Structure 1
Amino acid sequence: MRILILGGSGFVGRALAHEALAAGHDVTVFNRGQRDPVPGTTTLLGDRLTDGGLAALATGTWDAVVDTWSAQASAVGTAAALLAGRAGHFAYVSSRSVYRWLSTDVLTEDAPLTDLDDPGYAGDKLRGEQATAAFGGPVLFARAGLILGPHEDVGRLPWWLHRLHRGGPTLAPGPRDLPLQYVDARDLARFLLANVGVTGAFNVVSESGHATMGSLLDTANEVTGDHADLRWTDPDRILAAGVEPWTDLPIWLPPGDSHDFMHRADVSKALAAGLRCRPVRETVADTWAWLSSLPGAAPQRTDRPSVGLEPAAEEKLLLP
């Protein structure tokens, strides 16, 4: 197939480009050229937020388009309209953030959605989904949750890997058997490529419990050299210290409604459509190999806050 990726040099888009090339597809990427391109792709340059910024996409036809955009929805609609009639399928990498927070016990694709006028990320993603109507053809919404893997530019798994590599007594947020639900960016990419022509919304994350906090941190500790002494800590003590789940301690949410909403969704529809998730060890080991290969710091998205617990806060919590 001839694949057009709107993005294609960052995290999810980069994984998609690699996977598409490995499968033998002809891959074109459209982006601002701010990161090194994936070797083997054809790069078209432009800034979709500027007047005339999509000029490089004025001609050409593709079997499928994948849009990884995560900001203003108007950019999604403009691109979708421009490509209408010149591509066979449009996939939009959306988010489970489009669901109304804590709206249901078991999150399925039919769960209530957030308010369309929500000014934040959730609203942007929902408006982005609606903007794809301008494409006028088959559209798939990949409602991903937590995305991990090599080239992650949010910093969640990279923070844990660096912290564990530093070693010593290390705060581990409990309980150990707390189930996690995430997707490796490469498995998300393979799902998208396998479902060209398919329409509708899919929760694209692993089954709940594909990994746990224990298996994730134990594996990460082993992969980074087994330097850390994991000190499993009760969630109530962590919260009482003012530590913020998800941001101060990336990936982790304490047991309760928020955890269940993020880590216990129904993914049967995506599994039936071919989603397969690699073992946590492969995701962790490959991410550490990528981090270790970098000459400097890992790339960090400027539109997302930095994550990770300050050393002083961790030391205080580790006191007897």
Structure 2
Amino acid sequence: MIGGSRYFGKLLVDRLRAAGHQVTVINRGSTAPPAGVEHLVVDRNDEAALTAALDARTFDVVVDQVCYTPVQAAIAVRAFAGRTRRYVMTSTIEVYDPGSAALPTVAAGTPVPEELVDPATWRVAADLPWHDDAYLEAHYAEGKRQAEAVFTRADGFEFATVRSAHVLGGGTQEFTGRLAHYAARVVAGEEIAVHAQVLPTVFIHHEELAELLRWAATADFTGPLNACSDGPLDVHDLVAVIAAQAGRAPVHRTVPAGGKASPFSYDRHYAMSNARAKDLGFSFSHTADWLPGAVAEALTQSVPSI
């Protein structure tokens, strides 16, 4: 596994080991893996060092948690060709964001299928400044699309990409802090900036995503796969769950067209369909099954007295 040192990546390592798999973790050494897991300390961006670290090793499957650019993907293709049968990349719902690329129009309310973004036909531009952190942050979705495209065109292994919905749950483990952001604002009575007409998005619990990635690692499908719980929510739905548990009335402020809104407030449609994963045999939960628990964790994280 490349990455796997935090959040659902750590949980995935635990679940793979519990299933009897021998796990090797590759990262830069900032976080040690659990005892009993082989640890290769190397920067994935350094191709020579990565190749040397792999030495004569081979793997049944590589799960790549931290591939963000076509340059990183190209290095991995060369380093792992002939060393693994299968390669699974963790991608994102953001590849479908119509605000980040010219994509076919999907009517609001229609779940977005995988074929909307076909990595086999997506243009790759490795000469863009992917090494620049500011550029990468501003072009996160495009970096993921192009990384998928590089892997899809590789011949050295079977490739699958898991396009994850917004991941919630886990309290302090949820490093983006987005749910805690909402919880803190609701409790404090602070305004939540929303669009005039909000559209729903999709979510997945961190434990469910870890389980799906464990399943994907040993499955035999290829190509993109959407990963989201049933039950899309818009920002008002999400805040209502928080407000009910906090016992506070939320305060919304409508932003003007083009204005900056809070995380999970969307005025564009790209809520994913999970039909392909279901057809392949994976069963998803409903957001109503786990969101209250995730909210309770976020409230505790944001306001210890609650």
Structure 1 unaligned blocks of 5 or more? 295-320
Match of 1:189 in 2: 210
| AA of the residue aligned to 2:56 | T
RMSD of aligned residue pairs (Cα, Å): 3.3
Question: Residues 25 and 179 (structure 1 numbering): CA distance in 2 closer, same or farther, change over 3 Å?
Answer: same
Alignment of 1:276-287 (within 5 A): 276-277=284-285, 279-280=287-288, 282-283=290-291, 285-286=293-294
Contact 2:67 2:144 in 1 (8 A): yes
Alignment of 1:113-124 (within 5 A): 115-117=123-125, 120-124=139-143
Post-superposition shift, 1:239?
1.8
Match of 1:45 among 41, 60, 64: 41
1:127 is aligned to 2:146: yes
Contact 1:73 1:127 in 2 (8 A): yes
Match of 1:146 among 166, 177, 184: 166
> How far apart, in 1, do the equivalents of 2:117 and 2:257 lie?
34
Match of 1:161 among 162, 177, 183: 183
Question: Residues 110 and 16 (structure 1 numbering): CA distance in 2 closer, same or farther, change over 3 Å?
Answer: same
Post-superposition Cα deviations, 1:145-169, rounded to whole Å, max 9, x if no partner, equal 32223223223223223333x4336
Question: Residues 109 and 243 (structure 1 numbering): CA distance in 2 closer, same or farther, change over 3 Å?
Answer: same
Question: Residues 18 and 285 (structure 1 numbering): CA distance in 2 closer, same or farther, change over 3 Å?
Answer: farther
> How far apart, in 1, do the equivalents of 2:169 and 2:49 lie?
30
Match of 1:238 among 231, 234, 254: 254
Contact 1:66 1:93 in 2 (8 A): yes
Post-superposition shift, 1:138?
1.4
1:253 is aligned to 2:266: yes
Question: Residues 93 and 117 (structure 1 numbering): CA distance in 2 closer, same or farther, change over 3 Å?
Answer: same
| AA of the residue aligned to 1:78 | I
Match of 1:268 in 2: 275
Post-superposition Cα deviations, 1:173-219, rounded to whole Å, max 9, x if no partner, equal 48999633122233222222223222121122234x34443443233
Match of 1:6 among 2, 16, 20: 2
Post-superposition shift, 1:140?
0.6
SS of corresponding position for 2:57: coil
Question: Residues 206 and 104 (structure 1 numbering): CA distance in 2 closer, same or farther, change over 3 Å?
Answer: farther
SS of corresponding position for 2:31: coil
> How far apart, in 2, do the equivalents of 1:162 and 1:56 lie?
44
SS of corresponding position for 2:226: strand
1:108 is aligned to 2:113: yes
> How far apart, in 2, do the equivalents of 1:291 and 1:23 lie?
33
**TM-score with structure 1 setting the length:** 0.71
Q: What is the aligned residue count? A: 273
Q: What percent identity do the matched residue pairs reach?
A: 26
Question: Residues 41 and 159 (structure 1 numbering): CA distance in 2 closer, same or farther, change over 3 Å?
Answer: farther
Contact 2:45 2:75 in 1 (8 A): no
SS of corresponding position for 1:17: helix
Structure 2 unaligned blocks of 5 or more? 129-138
Match of 1:228 among 248, 251, 270: 248
1:33 is aligned to 2:29: yes
**TM-score with structure 2 setting the length:** 0.74
Higher relative contact order (CA 8 A, sep 6+): 2
Contact 1:170 1:229 in 2 (8 A): no
Question: Residues 14 and 280 (structure 1 numbering): CA distance in 2 closer, same or farther, change over 3 Å?
Answer: farther
Match of 1:308 in 2: none
Question: Residues 280 and 172 (structure 1 numbering): CA distance in 2 closer, same or farther, change over 3 Å?
Answer: farther
Question: Residues 169 and 141 (structure 1 numbering): CA distance in 2 closer, same or farther, change over 3 Å?
Answer: closer
